Structures are given as structure tokens and as C-alpha cells.
Amino acid sequence: MDLKEAWKKLEQEKLTQPVAGVEEVYKTSKHPVQKLIRSFKIALGFVVFFELAFAYLAIAMPQPIVKGAMVLMMVVYIFYFVANYQTLQHINRTFRMDQNLAHTLQSIYDNTQQSLKFQRRSAVFIYPLAATCGFLFGLSIERNVVEVLQNRSVWVSLLITISVLTPISYFVAIQLERVSYGRYLNQLRSLIHQLEVQA
């Protein structure tokens, strides 16, 4: 199907708006790909904010073990930044109007799904780490963490904290992913299906 005809049909179905060129698409389109781009940019903003917060805590906290925990969280957030930035770059490189539209959108859809799936799997290991770092930070507010960790009951409390916070954090993250990306991915999948039917 001719690209101009495809955009015309999308306009009639109110899935997007007619555009004069690629640059205008990036500024004014209500296309689900543009919404995904915005969501990834917001996610990167949050990652940078938390990265700066952990950097501040790593400098401000006096206890070395807590400093180490904050540096560890900085490394984790660098991982999240790279994962989201690479996906955003892929979308920006792929979303071109001079190529096969259905193929382009399918590539964006598949890459985004793979990235989010990878991040979900990684979270299973990262959330216990984050819970541990938060636990150590909480202990350090009024106590010497190294001394407190010599108490067996503290380790039991840490294990309970990890076992409670990990599934809760995972569930909350899945819900946030659905809000931030899920509906746009569903719109994108519907759009791909319609283009394939019309082809």
C-alpha cells in the first residue's frame, strides 16, 4: 500500500494526524510511537534524578558500608539508563516515514517489548539489592551499621524486608509499566494489524 494512502486511512480512523514531513511528525503527532518516545524520555528523567540523589547520599553519608551501598545503586541506575536510552535511540532511528510503515512499527514494537522484558527479568535480582541498600541506609540514620549487623536478629529482619519488598516492588513496577508503556504498545499493535490487513 502506498504510504500516503496509509496515512490517509489512519487520519480517517483518528489514530494519527496528517503530516507534512518527518520533522512535523516528531513535533505534533499523537501517534503511539510518539507516546512511547515521551514515556522513555520521562523514564530517563527519573533515572537521572535518582542517580543524582544516590550520588549525593554516597557523598553525604559518613559510614563506608552505606556509601558502598549508594554507589552500588548508582551502578544499577546506570544500567537502567543504558537500557532505556538504547531503546529510545532504536525508536528514533527506526521511526522513519520513508520506509515500509508496517515493518518499521513492528520493529519498534518488538524492540520495546524485548527491552521491557529484559528489565523485568533483571528486576528480580535488582529489587533484593535495592531493599538491602535501603535497609542499610535506614540503619545508618541512628546507628553504626557494621556493629548492628553483628546481631543475628538484624539479618532476620533484612531477610524479611527483602522477601516482603521484592514482590511488592515487582508488582508496582509491572503496574507502572502498563500505565507508561502498555496502552501505547497495545495501540501500536492494533495499528500494525490494521496496516497488515490493508496491505
Model confidence pLDDT, tens digit, residues 16-54: 444 444 444 444 456 889 999 999 999 999 999 999 999
| 112/192 Cα distance (integer angstroms) | 14
Task: Give how far Cα 175 sits from Cα of 103, 126, 156, Å.
Answer: 29, 17, 29
- Predicted confidence (pLDDT) at residue 2 exceeds the cutoff of 80: no
Model confidence pLDDT, tens digit, residues 85-130: 999 999 999 887 666 788 889 999 999 999 999 999 998 899 999 9
Those residues whose C-beta lies under 8 Å from the C-beta of residue 199, and which sit 6 or more positions away, are 1, 102
- For CA atoms 67, 71, 72, 76, the dihedral sign is positive
pLDDT of residue 168: 94
Nearest to 146 by CA among 82, 29, 62: 62
Provide the whole-model pTM. Answer: 0.76
The ranges assigned to domains in the chain are 3-198
